[in-house]
Structure 1
Amino acid sequence: MQRSLTAPSRHTSEAIQFRIILAATYPFFLAAALAQRVLPGRAPTRRGLPVMRRSVFGEAKAMAVSAIPFAFMG
């Protein structure tokens, strides 16, 4: 059975595209994370206990990483 040579290059290409989109969208998600921190609202709690929050940068990266895969669907 022969392996296709296009699979690794496709994976590499998608990884590069993911990083480019992450770099392009990260500033928007960083602004959203900052707005969430600055605007008054409920503090996150779990069963009445305060929840440890990520840094603003970590939160922005988490939001970007969770949203970007939708660009690759289809």
Structure 2
Amino acid sequence: MTRPFATVSRAHQEQVQFRIILGATYPVFLVAAVVQRLLPGRGAAPPGPRRSVFGEARAMALSAIPFAFMG
């Protein structure tokens, strides 16, 4: 017996979950990036061009999300 709707591959499900988690955590990391910029004593800036607050928040989110998929 066939199913009336198409099955979704596991890779596609994980991609959708990744995007949902990214959308849910990005605002949290955006606030953290803004707070980091506003607080004094952040230390020496890394060499090279400085990222925008949005780029920094995205980088923090992208580095933290893979831990949700471990296990």
1:13 Cα deviation (Å)?
A: 0.3
Cα separation, 1, equivalents of 2:32 and 2:68: 19
The code of the aligned residue for 1:24 comes to A
2:66 equivalent to 1:72: no
Question: What TM-score do the two structures reach when normalised by structure 1?
Answer: 0.79
1:43 corresponds to:
44
Give the corresponding residue for 1:17: 17
Q: Distance in 1 between matches of 2:36 and 2:55?
A: 13
Measure, in 2, the Cα distance between the counterparts of 1:40 and 1:54: 18
Gaps of 5+ in 1: 1-5
The reply to whether residue 59 of structure 1 matches residue 56 of structure 2 is yes
Aligned residues: 64
Q: CA RMSD in A?
A: 1.6
* 5+ long unaligned stretches in structure 2: 1-6
- Report the TM-score, using the length of structure 2 for normalisation: 0.82
AA matched with 2:27: P
